[in-house]
Amino acid sequence: MTSKCVISLNLPEDIVAPLREQFDLLTWAGKEAMPELTLQDWLADAEGLLCALSTPITASVIAGAGQLKVISTISAGVDHIDLAAATVAGIPVGHTPGVLVDSTADLAVGLMIAANRRIAEADRWVRTGQWSQGWQADLLLGSDLSQATIGIVGLGPIGEATVRRLRGFAATLLGWNRTPKALEGVEMVDLEDLFCRCDIVSLHTALTPETFQIASRKRLASMRSGATLINTGRGSLVDEEALIEELSSGRLRAGLDVFKTEPLPADHPLLSLDNAVLLPHVGSATLTTRMAMLTRALKNLRAGMSGEPLSFCANPEVYGVSG
């Protein structure tokens, strides 16, 4: 009997077709996120699950999936999965670390430039017919990265890759990491010092209970007037309500690829703010990176369905290995 596998997101048929030859597939075809009740129903007798950030895998979903052998997510982060519940249930969770480092670091620097040089504002200015004169000395003035003090919060692979790119701008670099770390050209400081000294603060740390709202109301308030917050990590790293207040006052700028709620509701206050550059969670959105992520996720899925250890496992405790 062919093993049943659930794919909780809409993937191109040429990706799915080879899996149909191996497994009895149920694939979600909707553009919106798969409802939890539907997912629970589909997983009742499934052995494998391929998912992404858009599908929360809660403890109740895991509890109802009594035959599940593997959860494979097309993402490096696993904060959309109740990892503790999966571990207790003995289910390995595969993820895709490493392959999205360069594309996400590129985007972080791109957001720094876009926010500080007001690129999105300037584009709208032209498209809406507001460019009624020629060159103007004071039009849409921004700030230079080459003269900026830039703080990197989280010096894992993506944070380090961002540092490598910023060295080319000859910026002054400050850093903070959850564990002690030394990096050439980066002055390691505490978080309070970093937020208050920097012209740009870029968030790259993993989302954990300790880093939840690491960009807190107090730290945002301590940032220099005219400073910029960049977030390509997770939306919940930021006190979003406090950030909206700072942006609404005109005191700060932001470049954001991630949000507390995704997608943003149509009436979200961020959408009305010209001093925020907003992207739809596209940090890894290059063809090369997304294919590498998918390849790694499918490798994890096939291994788990076959009862083999996953090459990239977010909860190695299920194999008796310390995380």
**Per-residue pLDDT reduced to its tens digit, 35-55:** 999 999 999 999 999 999 999
What is the domain count for the chain? 2
The reply to whether 183 and 116 lie within a common domain is yes
Q: How far is CA 36 from CA 41, 58, 64, 95, 258, in A?
A: 9, 9, 11, 21, 22
Could you count the other beta carbons within 10 Å of the beta carbon of residue 264?
A: 16
Cα 301–Cα 306–Cα 309 angle in degrees, nearest 5? 70
The reply to whether 235 and 201 lie within a common domain is yes
The residues that are catalytic are 234, 262, 281
The reply to whether 199 and 113 lie within a common domain is yes
Helix 101-116 × helix 119-127 angle, to 10°:
60
The reply to whether 175 and 194 lie within a common domain is yes
Q: Please answer whether residues 223 and 274 qualify as being in contact, where contact means their C-beta atoms are separated by less than 8 angstroms.
A: no
The reply to whether 106 and 190 lie within a common domain is yes
Query: For all residues of the chain together, what is the average pLDDT?
Result: 96
The reply to whether 107 and 146 lie within a common domain is yes
- Domain enclosing residue 161, as ranges: 101-278
Q: Taking residues 284-300, report their average pLDDT.
A: 96
The reply to whether 232 and 95 lie within a common domain is no
Would the pLDDT of 321 be above 80?
no
The reply to whether 258 and 165 lie within a common domain is yes
Please state whether the predicted TM-score (pTM) of the whole model is above 0.85.
yes
The reply to whether 301 and 194 lie within a common domain is no
CA separation for the pair 300, 305 (Å, rounded):
9
Q: Please answer whether residues 154 and 205 qualify as being in contact, where contact means their C-beta atoms are separated by less than 8 angstroms.
A: yes
Q: What percent of the chain has pLDDT over 90?
A: 93
CATH at 217:
3.40.50.720
Would the pLDDT of 322 be above 70?
no
| Sequence-separated (6 or more) residues with CB below 8 Å from residue 88 | none
Q: Taking residues 137-164, report their average pLDDT.
A: 96
**Would you list the DSSP string of 177-190?**
-SS----TTEEE--
Res 31: pLDDT: 86
The reply to whether 85 and 152 lie within a common domain is no
The reply to whether 142 and 68 lie within a common domain is no
Q: Please answer whether residues 197 and 170 qualify as being in contact, where contact means their C-beta atoms are separated by less than 8 angstroms.
A: no
Torsion sign across C-alpha atoms 261, 11, 318, 232: negative
The reply to whether 185 and 117 lie within a common domain is yes
